[in-house]
Structure 1
Amino acid sequence: MPRHANVLIVVPENNTTMEPEISALCPALAPIQVARVKRPPRTLLLEDLPAYAEATVDAIASFASESLDLVIYGCTAAGFLGGPDGNARMVERLRERTGTTVVSTAGAMIEALRGAGVAETAVVTPYLQPVNDGLRAYLELSGIAVETLNSFFCKTTAELGAIGEDHVLELARRTVTQKSKSLFIACSQLPTLSAVAKLRSELDIPVWSSIQATAWAGAEVLTKQGFPVLFNEAA
């Protein structure tokens, strides 16, 4: 029997969505370990990033001695605020501490959209304006224009946690236009397990979410390592 891939997800301490959805999208990975990063109860700001980076390293300390096959850096807002260079630095710190491959949600977003041939996208987020600005800049620095962006503008993690999949669907449908070439739903806390498939069927354009993109990118890495990981995008 093939060895089970040992995967660690690194997420903000309030995140309740990423681990179960990735387990549903890639059943062969379950059970997945989770490192939870301490964070403010409000939306992250740029000035929070130095402390948040250190909290991220602290969160993985108890896992660093394990033989991990993949680390998933799912701290989406921090990735966007830090920009491509800041995200790359955090990925490298995690790689150095764990000695294994690291996939980031921010990086997976770009890989998924580029893989779908996307040069412009509509975007749905839960973030306040500073993170939305960071997301827009991250995409544009990576060669992907933002056609339109709508947000839930959550001020606290409690507001973010109260958003259900029906809310995500409703805002997504209001965000896309007749000119939309694709749709990306940002944030690894927003529930999108069924929403992505519904929106792909309705809109007939590429639709990705932070979690879907991360699961796909993680499955690609592990498959190349020889693990039989199926990405079930219709989960």
Structure 2
Amino acid sequence: MTTVGLLYPGHSAEDDYRRFEVLLDTDIRLPVLHTDIGEDAHRVDALLRMGSAERLQARVAELRLEGAESVVWACTSGSFVYGWEGAHEQIRSLALAAGLPASSTSFAFVHALRRLGLQRVAVAATYPQDVTALFSAFLKASGAEVVADRASGIVTAAEVGTWGRDEVLELARAGDHPEAEAVLLPDTALHTAAYLSELEHALGKPVLTANQVTVWEGLRLAERRAWGPGLGTLFARPDRP
């Protein structure tokens, strides 16, 4: 049994993780522990409060009770908003408090791109423009090249959580760029688990989404390789000789 603990702010698209459990190996568990979201707003001051050490550490004892082998702060905007160094410090403090390997969705994107050998990306974000720009800056600090970024101007996670297939596909298409090797959808409030294959088919390239890379990152930290049908290039089984 491999257990990855997920700290998820509020309630929006956490049911994506249950889909990942079903489609991945049967001995993988992804318990979701909800953190205090505070004010539901894609605004820098609100996001800084959402990702504070106090809020993240409030539920670490429950992670141990769940038998977690790793923990991921399943929130992109509540991590990259701290900047490259600040996001590292956020994860260091979480790892120390939990006594577990820790990461965040922001770093999950970085590590997934490196694993796939991809550098040029397009960002298709639900966020307002200023928050989207901070994610692009974070990616650039990692060494990635952001060839385009598109902001949708959605202020609340609650609204993003109501988006379905048509809105997700339109977001990805609108954010794509001919020079991009991959398209990134960075919001963990966005349901994407059911559409990963369709997204990649529509765009003809890898598509990395927030909840997808969050699961992959937690498994990476737990030193567990896993593959799943319909979960995109990141979870595709390697070709066998």
TM-score by length of 1: 0.85
Number of the residue aligned with 2:83: 83
Number of the residue aligned with 2:4: 7
The answer to whether the 8 A contact 1:12-1:36 is kept is: yes
* Pairing 1:47-62 to 2, within 5 Å after superposition: 48-50=47-49, 52-62=51-61
Q: 1:151 and 1:51, CA in 2 relative to 1: closer, same or farther beyond 3 A? A: closer
In the TM superposition, structure 1's runs of 4+ consecutive aligned residues that sit over 6 Å from their partners are none
In 1, distance between residues paired with 2:30 and 2:182?
32
In 2, distance between residues paired with 1:47 and 1:190?
19
1:123 Cα deviation from its structure 2 partner: 1.0
Number of the residue aligned with 1:121: 121
1:58 Cα deviation from its structure 2 partner: 4.6
1:96 Cα deviation from its structure 2 partner: 0.9
Report the aligned-residue RMSD.
Answer: 2.3
The equivalent position to 1:230 in structure 2, one of 210, 219, 226, is: 226
Q: Does 1:107 align with 2:107?
A: yes
The answer to whether the 8 A contact 1:22-1:211 is kept is: no
Q: 1:85 and 1:194, CA in 2 relative to 1: closer, same or farther beyond 3 A? A: same
The answer to whether the 8 A contact 1:183-1:208 is kept is: yes
Q: 1:233 and 1:44, CA in 2 relative to 1: closer, same or farther beyond 3 A? A: farther
* Pairing 1:1-235 to 2, within 5 Å after superposition: 4-17=1-14, 18-27=16-25, 28-30=27-29, 32-46=31-45, 48-50=47-49, 52-63=51-62, 66=65, 67-222=67-222, 224=223, 230-232=226-228, 234-235=230-231
Question: Matched residue of 1:194: which SS?
Answer: helix
**Range with greater deviation from structure 2 (108-117 or 33-42):** 33-42
Q: 1:63 and 1:125, CA in 2 relative to 1: closer, same or farther beyond 3 A? A: same
The answer to whether the 8 A contact 1:76-1:187 is kept is: yes
The answer to whether the 8 A contact 2:72-2:102 is kept is: yes
TM-score by length of 2: 0.83
1:90 Cα deviation from its structure 2 partner: 1.2
Q: 1:65 and 1:181, CA in 2 relative to 1: closer, same or farther beyond 3 A? A: closer
Question: Matched residue of 2:82: which SS?
Answer: helix
Q: 1:64 and 1:167, CA in 2 relative to 1: closer, same or farther beyond 3 A? A: closer
What are the ranges of 5 or more consecutive residues in structure 1 without an aligned counterpart? none
Aligned residues: 228
The answer to whether the 8 A contact 1:80-1:131 is kept is: no
In 1, distance between residues paired with 2:83 and 2:49?
14
Question: Matched residue of 1:7: which SS?
Answer: strand
Deviations, residues 96-133 of structure 1 (Å, cap 9, x unaligned) = 11111113111110011122222211111111122111
Q: Kindly provide the amino acid, as one letter, of the partner of residue 62 in structure 2.
A: F
The answer to whether the 8 A contact 1:26-1:219 is kept is: no
In 2, distance between residues paired with 1:217 and 1:234?
18
Q: Kindly provide the amino acid, as one letter, of the partner of residue 184 in structure 1.
A: L
Question: Matched residue of 2:33: which SS?
Answer: strand
In 2, distance between residues paired with 1:6 and 1:57?
18
The answer to whether the 8 A contact 1:219-1:231 is kept is: no
The answer to whether the 8 A contact 2:122-2:148 is kept is: yes
The answer to whether the 8 A contact 1:70-1:100 is kept is: yes
In 1, distance between residues paired with 2:114 and 2:64?
34
**Range with greater deviation from structure 2 (168-177 or 39-48):** 39-48
